[in-house]
Amino acid sequence: MTDDTEHLIRFLGHGQFSPGVIDRAEGSSVFTEDGRELLDFTSGQMSAILGHSHPEIVATIREQTGRLDHLYSGMLSPPVLELCRRLAESLPAPLEKAMLLSTGGEANEAALRMAKLVTGGHEVVSFARSWHGMTQAAAGATYSAGRGGYGPAAPGNFALPVPDRFRPDVTGADGELDWRRQLDLGFDLIDAQSVGSPAACLVEPILSSGGVVDLPPGYLAALRDKCHERGMLLILDEAQTGLCRTGDWYAFERDGVVPDIITLSKTLGAGLPLSAVVTSADIERRAHERGFLFLTTHVNDPLPAAVGTTVLDVLNRDRLAERARLLGARLRSGLDELATRHPVIGDVRGRGLLVGLELVTGGTAADSDRLGAAVTRRCNELGLHMNIVQLPGMGGTFRIAPPLTATEAEIDRGVEILDKALGDTAA
**Domain boundaries along the sequence of the chain:** 22-54+319-426, 68-317
What's the CATH superfamily of 22-54+319-426? Aspartate Aminotransferase, domain 1 (3.90.1150.10)
- Asked if 266 is an active-site residue, the reply is yes
pLDDT at 169: 94
Q: Is 237 a catalytic residue?
A: yes
Catalytic residue among 131, 226, 249, 255: 131
Q: Does residue 63 sit in helix, strand or coil?
A: helix
Instruction: Measure the CA–CA gap between 281 and 260, rounded to whole angstroms.
Output: 10
Residue in 40, 86, 182, 240 annotated catalytic: 240
> Would residue 240 show up in a list of annotated catalytic residues for this protein?
yes
| 266 DSSP assignment | G
* Overall average pLDDT of the 223-239 stretch: 98
Cα–Cα–Cα angle for 391, 130, 165, nearest 5°? 90
Instruction: Please report the DSSP string for 115-181 in residue order.
Output: HHHHHS--EEEEETT----SSHHHHHT--SS--TTS-PPPTTEEEE----SSS-SSB-TTSSB-HHH
Beta-carbon neighbour count of residue 1 at 10 Å? 3
pLDDT tens digits for range 108-136 = 999 999 999 999 999 999 999 999 999 99
Which of 106, 109, 164, 204 is flagged as catalytic?
Answer: 204
Mean pLDDT value across residues 5-28: 88
Residue 393 scores a pLDDT above 90: no
| Confidence category of residue 18, pLDDT binned at 50, 70, 90 | confident
Q: What is the CATH number of domain 68-317?
A: 3.40.640.10
CA–CA gap between residue 343 and residue 63 (Å, rounded): 52
Closest CA to 352 of 242, 271, 262: 242
Which of 14, 32, 15, 117 has its CA nearest to residue 385? Answer: 32
- Give the end-to-end CA distance of the chain in Å, rounded to a whole number: 35
User: What is d(CA 293, CA 99) in angstroms, rounded to the nearest whole number?
Assistant: 12
pLDDT on residue 2: 47
**Residue 348 pLDDT > 90, yes or no?**
yes
Q: Are 22-54+319-426 and 68-317 in the same CATH fold?
A: no
Assign 384 a pLDDT band (cuts: 50, 70, 90): very high
Report the C-alpha gap between 375 and 385 in whole angstroms: 11
Contacts of 45 (CB under 8 A, 6+ apart): 266
Q: Is 413 an annotated catalytic residue? A: no
What's the mean per-residue pLDDT of the chain? Answer: 95
> What value does the mean pLDDT take over residues 187-192?
98
Q: What pLDDT score does 364 carry?
A: 82
Poorest-confidence range of 259-268, 383-392, 418-427?
383-392
Q: Return the pLDDT at 6.
A: 86
Q: Is 70 exceeded by the pLDDT of residue 159?
A: yes
Q: Give me the mean pLDDT over the 203-224 stretch.
A: 96
Chain mean position to CA 384 = 21
Q: What is the mean pLDDT of residues 292-302?
A: 96
CB atoms within 10 A of CB 304: 25
CA dist., res. 304 & res. 268, Å (int): 9
Q: Are 330 and 404 in contact (CB under 8 A)?
A: no
Residue 142: exposed, middle, or buried by beta-carbon count in 10 A (0-12, 13-18, 19+)?
Answer: buried
Query: Do residues 383 and 36 make contact, with C-beta atoms less than 8 angstroms apart?
Result: yes
Task: Note if 249 is an active site residue.
Answer: no
| Per-residue pLDDT reduced to its tens digit, 299-335 | 999 999 999 999 999 999 999 999 999 999 999 999 9
Could you give the percent of the chain with pLDDT greater than 90?
Answer: 87
Clarify whether 204 is annotated catalytic: yes
Give 146's pLDDT tier (boundaries 50, 70, 90). Answer: confident
Q: Give the integer Cα–Cα distance in Å for 51 and 30.
A: 10
Q: What is the mean pLDDT of residues 270-297?
A: 97
pLDDT of residue 122: 98
1, pLDDT greater than 70:
no
40 touches 32 (CB < 8 A):
no
Q: Which of 109, 358, 399, 410 is catalytic?
A: 399
The answer on pLDDT for 395 being more than 90 is: no
Rounded Cα distance between 322 and 304, Å, is 26
User: How far is Cα 78 from Cα 358, in angstroms, rounded to an integer?
Assistant: 45
Residue 107 belongs to what H/E stretch? Answer: helix 104-119
Catalytic residue among 123, 164, 237, 301: 237
**Helix pair angle (320-341, 302-317), 10° resolution:** 70
- Spell 108-133 as b/e; 16+ CB within 10 A means b: bbbbbbbbbbbbebbbbbbbbbbbbb
Query: Cβ neighbours of residue 98 under 8 Å, at least 6 residues apart?
Result: 83, 84, 87, 88, 276, 277, 278
